[in-house]
C-alpha cells in the first residue's frame, strides 16, 4: 500500500541571485511534488554572496508568488538536515552542463552517506536556460549588459540600482 503522506522535495542553493533557470526548475518540480521547499543558504562557505539572504529570499518569493505549493526558507545546516526538517524525501537539483553533473554526483554521494533515505532527482535545464548562471548574470549586469531574459524582474531592477548605467570600458580607437 502506498504511503498517503504528501511528497515533499527541497531545492537547495545560494540563489545569488535567482535566475529564470532556477525558477523554471522550481515550477517543474512543483508540478511533480506535493510541496517544494526552496532552501536558500544563509552564508555560503565557497563564496561571499552579492545579495543578502533577505534579498535572495524576497527575489524568490516574488518570482514564485503564483506557485502555491512552493515555499522559500533560509538554512544554515547540512542539506540533508534541512530536508529532514521538512520531512522531505527528495532533493531536487538542476543540471545545465556536464560540469554541473560532476559536482552534483559528488554531492549526491556525500548526501547518501548521511541520509540514504533521501533521494536526489535531477531535472535537466531547458535549452533556453542551459547557459544561464547566477555568476554570469552578475558579471553581465556589472558591465551594463541586459539581464532581462536571465533573471526575474525584481533581480533586474536591483541590478539597475546597484550598477546604474555602468558600461564595460571600451578603449578608444586613437
Count of structural domains, the chain: 1
List of residues 6+ apart from 45 with CB closer than 8 A: none
Residue 168 included in any domain: no
pLDDT of 168: 38
Contacts with 97 (C-beta within 8 Å, 6 or more apart), sequence order: 130
User: pLDDT tens, 121-134?
Assistant: 999 999 999 999 99
Instruction: List the domain range (segments joined by +) for residue 92.
Output: 8-127
- 38 within domain boundaries: yes
52-104: pLDDT as tens digits: 999 999 999 999 999 999 999 999 999 999 999 999 999 999 998 887 788 88
**Whole-number pLDDT of residue 174:** 43
Residue 49 in any domain: the answer is: yes
Rg (CA), the chain: 17
* pTM listed for this prediction: 0.90
Q: Report the CATH number that the domain containing residue 74 is assigned in CATH.
A: 3.40.50.620
Tell me: pLDDT of 167 over 60.
no
135 within a domain of the structure (yes/no): no
45-51 long-range contacts, CB within 8 A, separation 24+? 47/14, 49/14, 49/16, 50/16, 50/17, 50/138, 51/16, 51/17, 51/158
Domain assignment of residue 51, yes or no: yes
Q: Convert the pLDDT of each residue in 44-64 to its tens digit.
A: 888 899 999 999 999 999 999
Residue 86 to residue 146: CA distance in whole angstroms:
37
Q: Is the pLDDT of residue 170 over 50?
A: no
40 forms beta bridges with 13, 74
Mean pLDDT value across residues 108-129: 95
Confidence class for position 173, pLDDT limits 50, 70, 90: very low
Amino acid at each position: 500500500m502506498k504511503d498517503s503522506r504528501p511528497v515533499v522535495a527541497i531545492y537547495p542553493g545560494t540563489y545569488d541571485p535567482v535566475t529564470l533557470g532556477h525558477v523554471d526548475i522550481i515550477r517543474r518540480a512543483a508540478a511533480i511534488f506535493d510541496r517544494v521547499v526552496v532552501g536558500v543558504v544563509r552564508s555560503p562557505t565557497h563564496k561571499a554572496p552579492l545579495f543578502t539572504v533577505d534579498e535572495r529570499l524576497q527575489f524568490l518569493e516574488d518570482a514564485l508568488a503564483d506557485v502555491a505549493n512552493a515555499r522559500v526558507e533560509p538554512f544554515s545546516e547540512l542539506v540533508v538536515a534541512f530536508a529532514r526538517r521538512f520531512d522531505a524525501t527528495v532533493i531536487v537539483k538542476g543540471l545545465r552542463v556536464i560540469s554541473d553533473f560532476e559536482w552534483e554526483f559528488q554531492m549526491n554521494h556525500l548526501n547518501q552517506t548521511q541520509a540514504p533515505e533521501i533521494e536526489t532527482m535531477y531535472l535537466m535545464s531547458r535549452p533556453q536556460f542551459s547557459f544561464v548562471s547566477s555568476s554570469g548574470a552578475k558579471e553581465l549586469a556589472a558591465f551594463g549588459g541586459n539581464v532581462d531574459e536571465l533573471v526575474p524582474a525584481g533581480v533586474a531592477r536591483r541590478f539597475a540600482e546597484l550598477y546604474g548605467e555602468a558600461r564595460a570600458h571600451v578603449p578608444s580607437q586613437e
